[in-house]
Structure 1
Amino acid sequence: MDQWIYFIHAPREDFAATMTEEEQAVWGQHVQLLTKRLADGSLILAGPTLGTINTGVCVFEAPDEEAARAYMNEDPTIASGIATGELRGFSAAFLRG
């Protein structure tokens, strides 16, 4: 299984501090999906960058680019059009522990 990373680019600076109710609801769905993906073993790690630029990072496994792109595009943050996604191949070369 190949490793992939996608970045979630928020629509504006200070996004985490200025989310609307609609955006908060979508991010709630995002958390639910990532929790499910962590439980099913496809998600390796995920989280936001902090500060004024809030970029989400999601590292996961998928068999090929088509499946990886579908995985990214199913994320409610991207599927809703609120945020944009950027997919890249990834290799976790150095891991603690």
Structure 2
Amino acid sequence: MSWFLYRLLPPRPDFATTMDERERAAMAEHVEYWRGLLEAGRTIFFGPVADPAGPWGLGIVNGGSLDDAAALGEADPAVVAGVARFEVLPMLSAVTR
């Protein structure tokens, strides 16, 4: 099993404070989706990052391959709804418990 950084990229820097109802609904589904991944052991944590340039989402996921980890992003409700895009980057190494 390999570790990957998942980065959810919102459509605009002020997204967290200017979401419309459709975006808010997609993000609520996004959070539930990632809670399910957490419960299934596919991620060890996830959440928003307070980047001064604008918040974005972070998850550390495990998978058998980059394609396996990217499939999690392709199924993310925020991505499916067109509310956000994502990047998946492989970790060169990871120290875990």
TM (norm. structure 2) is 0.88
Q: Distance in 1 between matches of 2:53 and 2:63?
A: 31
Gaps of 5+ in 1: none
Shift of 1:83: 0.7
Once the two structures are superposed, the pairs formed by residues 1-97 of structure 1 within 5 Å of their partners are: 1-50=1-50, 51=52, 53-90=54-91, 91-93=93-95
Percent of aligned pairs sharing the same letter:
31
How many residues matched? 95
AA paired with 2:89?
A: R
Query: How far 1:23 moved relative to its partner?
Result: 0.4
The one-letter amino acid paired with 1:80 is: A
Moved more, 26-35 or 77-86: 77-86
Matched to 1:63, the amino acid is G
How far apart are residue 52 of structure 1 and its match?
5.3
Letter in 2 for 1:65: L
Task: Indicate if the aligned counterparts of 1:15 and 1:52 stay in contact, CA closer than 8 A.
Answer: no
- SS of the residue aligned with 2:67? helix
What is the CA RMSD across the aligned residues, in angstroms?
A: 1.6
Q: Which moved more, 1:81-90 or 1:50-59?
A: 50-59
Q: Distance in 2 between matches of 1:54 and 1:41?
A: 25
Q: State the AA in 1 paired with 2:68.
A: A
- CA–CA separation in structure 2 for the residues paired with 1:16 and 1:92: 30
Which 4+ runs in 1 deviate beyond 2 A?
none
TM-score by length of 1: 0.88
